[in-house]
C-alpha cells in the first residue's frame, strides 16, 4: 500500500525537475540597411507570410502573433491583418503573384485600382516573414488503459521544436529593402504520464515571435 | 406486470436501421467545398463576356475510391464553389458579363456578346498526409478553357493549372483541411487567370482584332 504515495512523490519530483528543464534557446540577428529615423506615425504596416515554397508554409498564426506583439507593445501602430490585406488586393498577393522584390511594387502600382487601394491603406512598411517551426527528435512511449477501476496512462514522451524565421522589411515609400531580422529558437518539450499525462511544452514558436516582434518594433515605433 | 414485446416486422425494421447505420459508417468521406472569394482589384477589360458553365463544371465532383480497407473513399464536390469563384472573378475582370441561356452553337438563340468563355475542370488530384506522409493537404487542378463566339465558333482553346495547399497545424479535421486546400486552389486559379488571360496568344489576336487594349498587368 505504501508504494502508491512513493510513486506519487517520485512523479512530483520528476515533474518539478522537468518543468525547469523545458526551456527555449533563441538567437536574433539583425541587418539594417537604412536606419529608421522615427516611427511610422499614422501610416500602417502589413505583415505577410511567404507561401510560395513547395515543402512548407509560413504559419498564419505566427504572422498573427508577430502583428499582435507589435500592436500590443505600441498601441499607436496600426497593423493590417494579413487576410484583410491579401483579400483587398486580390489577386496581387497570392502565392503565385506576390512580389518577390521591392522593385516589383513599381510595376504593381502601374495599375490604377491597385495604386488607389494602396493609398487608401497608407502602408509605410511591408514586412515579409519566411520560415517555419518544425518538430523533430520525438522519443518515448506511453500506454493508456481503461478498466473497471478507472482509466489511466503511464509512460514518457519527449520531442524538440525548432523555429527559423526571417523577416524582410520593405519601405513602401522608397520601394527598397531597409532591413532583415532573422530569429532561430529551439526547445525540448516533455510529456510524463503517471495516471494523467502532463504536457510540459517549450514555447518555441512564441519565443521566436517575441524575438522578431521586438526587433521589428525598432523600425516601426518611435518609443523603441 | 406489463411486458413489452417486439413484433417480427418491428424487428425487421430495427435490423434494417442498424444495417443502414453500419453502411453509413463505412461510406466515403464527403467534402462540399465552401469559401468566400474576393473580387479582383483589376482594371476591367472593355468587352462583353458571355459565360457558359457546362453541367460537368457547375456540378463538378471528384471521387477517389479507397485503395485498401483501412483507407477511406473521398468525394470532393467543387461545383458550387467553382461557380461562385468564377462568377466573382469574371464580373470583376470584364466591364460586362452575361450568363448564356444555352450552350453556344449555330442553332442556339443567345444574347449578343463579344465572346463566350466555357471553363471545364480537366483533372483534379488531391493529397492528404495519409497518402504522402507529409503534413500538408494539397489540391491540384487543371482547367481547359474554350473561348467561342455566341454562335459557337472557336476563338481560342487553352489549359491552365491551379494549386492549393494547407498545413495541418491550424486545422482540425481532414475534411476542413481539404476544403481549405480547395479554396486556396480556386483562389490560385483566379489569380492565374486574371494575370494571364490577356497573354494567351489566341486571346491576344482576338483582342487586337477588336481593338481592345488591356492595361499592363502581372509581375
Three-class SS of chain A:
CCHHHHHHHHHHHHHHHHHHHCCEEEEEEEEECCCCCCCCCCCEEEEEECCCCCCCCCCHHHHHHHHHHHHHHCCCCEEECHHHHHHHCCCCCCCCCCCCCCCHHHHHCCCHHHHHHHHHHCEEEEEEEEEEEEEEEEEEEEEEEEECCEEEEEEEEEEEEEEEEEEEEEECCCCEEEEEEEEEEEEEEEEEEEEEECCECCCHHHHHHHHHHHHHHHHHCCCC
Residues A178-204 pLDDT 10s: 899 999 999 999 999 988 888 898 999
What is this structure's pTM?
0.83
Do A57 and B195 make contact, defined as CB atoms within 8 angstroms? no
**Closest residue in chain B to residue A92, using alpha carbons only:** B191
CA atoms within 13 A on the CB side of B84: 13
Q: What is the DSSP letter of B164?
A: E
Q: In A, which residues are within 8 Å of B194 by CB distance?
A: 91
Do A108 and B219 make contact, defined as CB atoms within 8 angstroms? yes
Out of B43, B216, B219, whose CB is closest to A113? B43
Measure A213 CA to nearest chain B CA, in Å. 21
Residues B102-145 pLDDT 10s: 999 988 888 889 999 999 999 998 887 777 666 778 899 999 99
Best residue in B39, B89, B134, B169 for a mutation probing chain A (most A CBs within 10 Å) = B169
CB A219 within 8 A of CB A65: no
Do A90 and B39 make contact, defined as CB atoms within 8 angstroms? yes
Give me the pLDDT at residue B108, please.
81
Q: Give CA–CA dist A202/B191, Å, rounded.
A: 39
**Closest residue in chain B to residue A100, using alpha carbons only:** B219
Which residues, at least 6 apart from B145, have a Cβ–Cβ distance to it below 8 Å?
A: B117, B118, B119, B120, B156, B157, B158, B159, B160
Measure A107 CA to nearest chain B CA, in Å. 7
Q: In B, which residues are within 8 Å of A59 by CB distance?
A: 167, 169-170
Which is nearest to A130 in space by CA: A162, A167, A87? A167
ipTM (interface predicted TM): 0.81
Which of residues 182 through 201 in chain B touch A, CB cutoff 8 A? 187-188, 190-192, 194-195
Q: Give CA–CA dist A21/A188, Å, rounded.
A: 8
Tens-level pLDDT at each residue, chain A (224 residues): 455 566 556 555 555 555 555 688 888 888 877 766 677 777 899 999 998 887 788 999 999 999 999 999 999 899 999 999 999 999 999 999 999 999 888 888 888 999 999 999 998 889 999 999 988 888 898 888 888 878 888 999 999 999 999 999 998 888 889 899 999 999 999 999 988 888 898 999 999 999 999 999 988 888 77
Which of residues 26 through 65 in chain B touch A, CB cutoff 8 A? 38-43
Q: Which residues pair with B97 in a beta bridge?
A: B49
Residues A144-168 pLDDT 10s: 888 887 888 899 999 999 999 999 9
Q: In A, which residues are within 8 Å of B190 by CB distance?
A: 90-91
Amino acid at each position: 500500500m505504501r508504494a502508491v504515495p512513493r510513486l506519487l512523490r517520485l512523479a512530483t519530483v520528476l515533474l518539478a525537475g522537468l518543468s525547469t528543464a523545458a526551456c527555449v534557446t533563441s538567437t536574433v540577428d539583425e541587418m539594417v540597411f537604412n536606419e529608421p529615423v522615427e516611427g511610422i506615425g499614422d501610416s500602417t504596416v502589413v505583415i505577410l507570410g511567404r507561401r510560395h515554397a513547395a515543402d512548407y508554409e509560413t504559419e498564419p498564426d505566427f504572422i498573427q502573433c508577430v502583428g499582435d506583439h507589435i500592436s500590443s507593445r505600441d498601441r499607436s501602430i496600426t497593423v493590417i491583418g494579413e487576410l484583410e490585406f491579401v483579400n483587398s488586393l486580390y489577386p496581387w498577393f497570392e502565392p503565385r503573384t506576390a512580389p518577390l522584390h521591392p522593385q516589383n511594387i513599381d510595376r504593381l502600382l502601374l495599375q490604377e485600382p491597385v495604386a488607389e487601394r494602396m493609398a487608401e491603406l497608407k502602408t509605410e512598411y511591408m514586412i515579409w516573414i519566411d520560415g517555419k517551426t518544425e518538430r523533430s527528435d520525438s522519443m518515448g512511449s506511453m500506454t493508456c488503459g481503461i478498466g473497471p477501476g478507472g482509466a489511466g496512462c503511464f509512460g514518457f514522451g519527449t520531442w524538440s521544436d525548432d523555429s527559423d524565421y526571417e523577416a524582410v522589411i520593405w519601405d513602401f515609400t522608397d520601394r527598397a529593402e531597409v532591413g532583415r531580422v532573422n530569429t532561430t529558437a529551439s526547445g525540448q518539450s516533455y510529456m510524463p504520464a503517471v495516471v494523467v499525462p502532463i504536457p510540459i511544452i517549450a514555447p518555441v514558436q512564441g519565443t521566436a515571435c517575441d524575438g522578431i516582434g521586438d526587433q521589428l518594433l525598432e523600425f516601426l515605433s518611435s518609443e523603441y | 406486470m406489463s411486458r413489452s414485446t417486439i413484433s417480427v416486422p418491428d424487428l425487421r425494421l430495427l435490423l434494417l436501421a442498424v444495417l443502414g447505420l453500419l453502411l453509413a459508417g463505412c461510406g466515403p468521406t464527403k467534402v462540399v467545398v465552401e469559401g468566400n472569394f474576393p473580387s479582383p482589384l483589376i482594371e476591367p477589360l472593355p468587352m462583353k463576356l458571355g459565360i457558359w458553365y457546362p453541367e460537368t463544371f457547375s456540378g463538378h465532383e471528384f471521387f477517389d475510391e479507397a485503395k485498401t480497407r483501412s483507407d477511406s473513399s473521398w468525394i470532393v464536390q467543387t461545383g458550387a464553389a467553382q461557380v461562385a469563384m468564377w462568377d466573382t472573378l469574371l464580373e470583376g475582370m470584364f466591364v460586362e458579363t452575361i450568363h448564356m441561356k444555352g450552350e453556344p452553337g449555330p442553332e442556339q438563340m443567345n444574347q449578343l456578346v463579344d465572346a463566350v468563355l466555357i471553363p471545364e475542370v480537366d483533372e483534379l488530384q488531391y493529397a492528404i498526409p495519409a497518402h504522402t506522409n507529409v503534413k500538408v493537404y494539397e489540391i491540384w487542378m487543371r482547367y481547359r478553357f474554350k473561348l467561342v463566339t455566341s454562335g459557337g465558333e472557336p476563338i481560342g482553346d487553352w489549359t491552365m493549372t491551379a494549386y492549393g495547399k494547407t498545413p495541418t497545424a491550424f486545422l482540425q479535421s481532414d475534411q476542413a483541411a481539404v476544403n481549405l486546400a480547395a479554396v486556396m486552389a480556386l483562389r490560385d486559379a483566379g489569380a492565374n487567370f486574371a494575370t494571364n488571360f490577356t497573354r494567351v496568344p489566341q486571346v491576344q489576336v482576338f483582342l487586337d482584332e477588336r481593338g481592345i487594349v488591356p492595361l499592363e498587368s502581372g509581375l
